[in-house]
Each structure stands twice: as C-alpha cells, then as structure tokens.
Amino acid sequence: MSSSEVRYRPDIDGLRAVAVVGVLIFHVAQSFLRGGYVGVDVFFVISGYLISSNILAQAEQGKFSIARFYEHRLRRIFPAYAVVLAFTTAAVVWKFVPSEINAYAKALGAAIASVTNIYFWATSDYFAVSAEELPLLHTWSLAVEEQFYLLFPFLVVAIHRWFPGRHAVAVLAIFVVSLAISIWGTYVAPIATFYLLPTRAWELLLGTLLALKIGPSPRTELQRNLTAGAGLALIALPMILYWPYTRFPGLAAVPPCLGAALIMLAGETGGSLVGRLLSMRPVVFVGLISYSLYLWHWPLMVLQRTDFLLVHSDSRFVTRGAVFVASFICAFLSWWIVERTTRNRRLVSSKTVVLGSGVAALALLLAAGVLSYTGGFQQRFSPDALAVARYLDYDEKKQFREGSCFLDRDTPFQRFDRTACLPDIPGRPNYLLIGDSHAAALSSGLRQALPDANVLQLSGVGCPPTIALQPAASEACSGLNHLAFEEISKTRKITKAWLVARWNVGRLGQGPGWNRDWLADLLQTVEELRRHGIESIVIGPMPEYASRLPRLLAKSIETHDPGLASRSLTADSLALDRQMADFTRKHGIAYVSLADAVCSGSDRSCMTYAAPGVPLLFDSDHLTDIGAALVAEKISPQLR
C-alpha cells in the first residue's frame, strides 16, 4: 500500500458541514430538504477516507499500532458521546413514562456497546415507536462506523498478509460485494439493508479506495473545478430530489457517496472553487462542531417534539428554530469544552482517556440496568396513568389480522388469506375495504358494526387505496392493488368500496404541502370503480396527535392537565380533512369524515377515550380495537 503524508484539509471539514446541515434540516424541518438524510452517507465516505489515510501513512512509516488506533478512536468519539448519553438519560427519566423509559434503557445499553444499528433493526416494526420518539435512534450511524473501526485494522492486516501487492484489488472486491448486497437488500430486506454494516461497508470502503489512489487525480485547475463541481451536484441534487420513501441505500446512495469522493479527490492535488467555498471559516467552523452537532440535535428534537423541552409553542417556526439554536449552542459547548480538551494529549493522557471512558461507560450501563430493573420507575406513576400507558405496548396483530388480511412490506402477497379476508356468504351485501394500516385498524369495528355484511379486507403497510401505486411500492401493495382493481371489482358484485388511508403520507408529504397529483389518483380510482358499477366512499384521515395518545393521556393524569392531549392535536390532519371534504364534494364522491365522528364544536374538541381507561388510539393515529368499534358504529349509517 502507498499513501502520502496525511495533512489537515479544511475543505473536508467544510464537506462535513454540508453533510451535517443536510441531516439537521431533514430531521428538524423535513419539508425544506426531503433528501437531507444522504448527509449520513457523506459522513461514511469521509470517515473511510480519513481512517484509511491515517492507517496507510502510519503503516508506510512502520508506526501503525492497533492499540494506538483504538485509543485515538476512543479519544475522538466517546467523551462527547458519553455527555450526550448522560444528558439524554436524565431528560428521559424526567419526561418519559415508564414503558418508554424501559425501552430507552435497552437502547442505552446498545448505545454503550455500539450496536444500536442492530438493536433498532431487530426492534423495528411498522407499529413500533415512531422514529421521532426514539432519542438514541441517530446513534445507529455511529454504531456502523464504530463496527467498521473495530474490524478495519484487522482487515488491513489480513489483506497485507494474504494479498500482498494486491491491496486495492482486495478492497475493491469487498466494496463491490457490499454494494451488490446493498442494492439487492433494498428490495428484499430494506430495514436490515438500511441499518447493518455489511450493506453500508461499501460507503466507507469508497473512502478507502480514494485513500489508496487507485485512479487518476485531476491535475489542472479546470479539472479540479469540474470534478469538485460534479461532486457537489451529486450531493446537492439527492438532498433536494430524494424523498423519505426513496429506496435506500442501494443505488440511490451511490450519487452522494461518489460526490463526496470527487470533492475529496479534487482537493488532493490543489484548490478548486468548491474547495475554497468549503474552506471558508464559517463553513469550516460548522464542520469542526459537526460531530457534536449530530450528537445533540436528535435528542433535543425528540424531547421538544414529545415534551416541549425547549419551548412551549404551537408555532412550527418557533419550535424548529429553538431546536436549531439549542443544537448549535450545545454542539459548540461540547466541542469547546469536551472534544478539544480530550483530544489534546498534553492535557489528557491516554491512561486518563481509557480509564475515564471505562468509568463513564460502566456508569451508563448501571443506569440502564436500574431503569430496566425498575420497569422505568413505575412507582412514580399512579395506577390510572400506568393503565393508560400500557397501551403504548399495544399488540395490534389480531385486530388488524396481520399476516393474512394486512400485509407488511416484507410479507409475500401469497400469504394473503382469500378465504378469511374475502368472505362470500350468499345473500349478504359485499363491502370492499381497501387501504393501508388505517383501513386495517378500522376493519374489526366495521365487521362488528355491519354483522349482516361481507366485509372484504385488502390492506397493507403503506398501500394507498388508489390504482396508481407509490414509487417503490412493495410486492404486497402491488398484489393487493391488482386483486382489488383487476379481479374483485370485475368478478364480485360489490355494494360499496370504502377507500381508507393515512392520506397525508407518501407523495402527499405532510400538511398543507400535500401533492395534488394524489387527488387525481383518487379521482381516477373512483371513476374506474364506477365503470364497473361500484360506488366508492372515501373515509377521511383520523385526527392525529404530535405524540402517541396513550403517553399524552398518562402524562395528563400525572400532571393534572386534562388539556394536554387536545393541545397536541395536529392542525394539519384537521386541515387535510377539510380539503378532502371539499374535493370529494366538488367531484360528487361520497365522503365520511372521521374528524366529524370523533371531534365536535367550533374548537374541534376531540374524544380521546374509547371507554374508561381505554385510549381511542394506541399511537398517534391508529385506533384501538374498542376505538375502532366506537368509530365504526358512529359512521356505519353513512357507509351503506
């Protein structure tokens, strides 16, 4: 292997700034930069390049030491990490309810062990806790890097021993295999592909290939400008054009990763316009604090979203601004006080770093153990609050008929149970229920409210009840779509088709910015069903809450604040209901408003309990079984 002496490059800190700002905007104000999440991939390439360059330079001089490498990584990563974990743990104990604290304790243990990517993959589920309520979710990417750091020195030694003189070929082979698995995995196991090292390793190894100098470098200023300009475009365009549902990583991760590599490649042989822009002092400063900024922004955002930790306000501008400002303040203090101090070997010895990190890790593990052992300090909460909070662990499988009539993204369509889901009892009217998880949530209530009818349930995760499918639609959605619109509608006598969805997701985005093309898809679907003699009834969106309703109700009991849940009701879902009501009225489509069913009065006061001690919803927008029965009974006269 060969490498030049490693030198500090301000343009790389500037590139870090681009990456972290993209991630920050995506997380805090997603509508402004829907593809900002590719900043994480830029970080991976940077990390792979810098780690490889340092190892190569030290190995070339005969100075490489695995022990020193790990000590340097520990010094670089853990002190600021431990501070954020300690703060987040204290805030969670203060603000969260017992079941959430208990779940957090498990994530905290995984964070200390650097396996949160594996933990969140293993616990991921469509009805698991919303990402915006997991304070340590962002540590998955740190876990990927730390696992790479753990294995990479041994990989270097193995390649040096078994493939002498062919280091680049060996790394390139691993890179290609990892990329191929990543592309394949986005189709067959998207969650595992997103979180796990084998399908992310190619991004870090791209940085390694750059450090190995396997290709030509731009020599002239024009070549450097074109290379760096192309690199910046390959990062910026995905940030602007990608959406949260873009199939990722796989092929979609190639442009931003290649873009990061091109910018760093251009900077190896001289300056460029992009390099000079990235080397501007304000940009470099953001890059210097980027690690701390990444660490702090997510817990602050989660705690603001769930418990108004920073500011009490209904204004998105105010709350987003508070998270931005607080993130930068905490990041600066963390960088100035913690990072700069612990990275200075003259101030903090290696022994102190190792011993201090060990003590901090043990203290945090002890805290995780205590939180788990006490069930999240259940004794602090009243029996009534605990009874409501238990719905945070609600099991919806039976209600939804999951795996048979409700298919998730990874369930083959062949698992759909036609006998159970498509009853055909003679002499009964046939009602076709099509949609996503909101259709599945309502299904049990509809069967109870209309016992003399055949309710045909076709539902799947993220499956819109429209002929036009989302980009990257799952196999289940495609199969259900074909069954509903190509088979049943043409072969069964259907009395009514009920179209149900969480209408503000997918291409609609969120809130007022929803995409009018979705309405065109809905209209096309209604007209197609009419051609087969089937009248449709569109069932509107369920009023949603900014946090999970059971936790809001539990906290309202504990704080004696009965208005807590109503203040957390999102205005977007109510506005969307009015927009859909206007649209369907204009086009002569029957419409049933769930907002009208559960809310009343000019102030749109909405019911929160389906029965004493039983929340209407088990999360922010899905009905409990008793809630479904109550709502279905209310709307059943409009559905016939």
Mean pLDDT by 10-residue block, N- to C-terminus, for the chain (640 residues)? 64 97 93 92 97 85 85 94 98 92 96 96 75 92 96 85 82 96 93 96 96 87 95 97 89 98 92 94 97 98 87 81 95 97 92 95 97 91 92 92 88 89 93 95 96 94 82 77 85 92 61 57 91 93 92 92 87 88 94 94 83 95 96 94
According to the model, what pLDDT value does residue 364 have?
98
pLDDT for the residue 467: 86
Structural contact between residues 259 and 298, judged by C-beta atoms closer than 8 angstroms:
no
Residue 623 DSSP class: B
Q: Which fold has domain 393-639?
A: Rossmann fold (3.40.50)
Q: Do residues 294 and 42 make contact, with C-beta atoms less than 8 angstroms apart?
A: no
Four-residue CA torsion sign, 136, 142, 148, 151: negative
**pLDDT the model gives residue 510:** 42
Give residue 124's pLDDT: 84
Angle, helix 290-307 to helix 10-28, in steps of 10 degrees? 10
Long-range Cβ pairs for the range 487-491 (8 Å, 24+): 488/422, 488/432, 488/456, 488/458, 489/432, 489/528, 489/529, 489/532, 489/534, 490/532
pLDDT tens-digit map of 204-213: 999 999 999 8
Q: What is the pLDDT of residues 167-213, one digit of tens each?
A: 889 999 999 999 999 999 998 888 999 999 999 999 999 999 999 98
Task: Quick: pLDDT tens for 110-149.
Answer: 999 999 999 999 998 755 667 788 999 999 999 999 999 9
pLDDT tens across 65-91, in order?
888 899 999 999 999 999 999 999 999
Q: Which of 266, 249, 166, 139 is nearest to 204 (CA)?
A: 249
Q: Residue ranges of the alpha helices (H) in 29-63?
A: 39-60
Which residue(s) pair with 537 in the sheet? 498, 590
Q: Give the mean pLDDT of the chain.
A: 90
- The pLDDT assigned to 538 comes to 96
Tokens 């159970």 belong to 420
Domain definitions of the chain by residue range: 10-33+47-203+278-379, 393-639
Q: Considering the entire predicted model, what is its pTM?
A: 0.87
Beta carbons within 8 Å of 184's beta carbon, 6+ residues apart: none
5: exposed, middle or buried (Cβ count in 10 Å: 0-12, 13-18, 19+): exposed
DSSP 276-335: HHHTSHHHHHHHHTHHHHHHHHHHHHHHHHHH-SS---S-HHHHHHHHHHHHHHHHHHII
pLDDT for position 340 = 95
DSSP state of 507: G
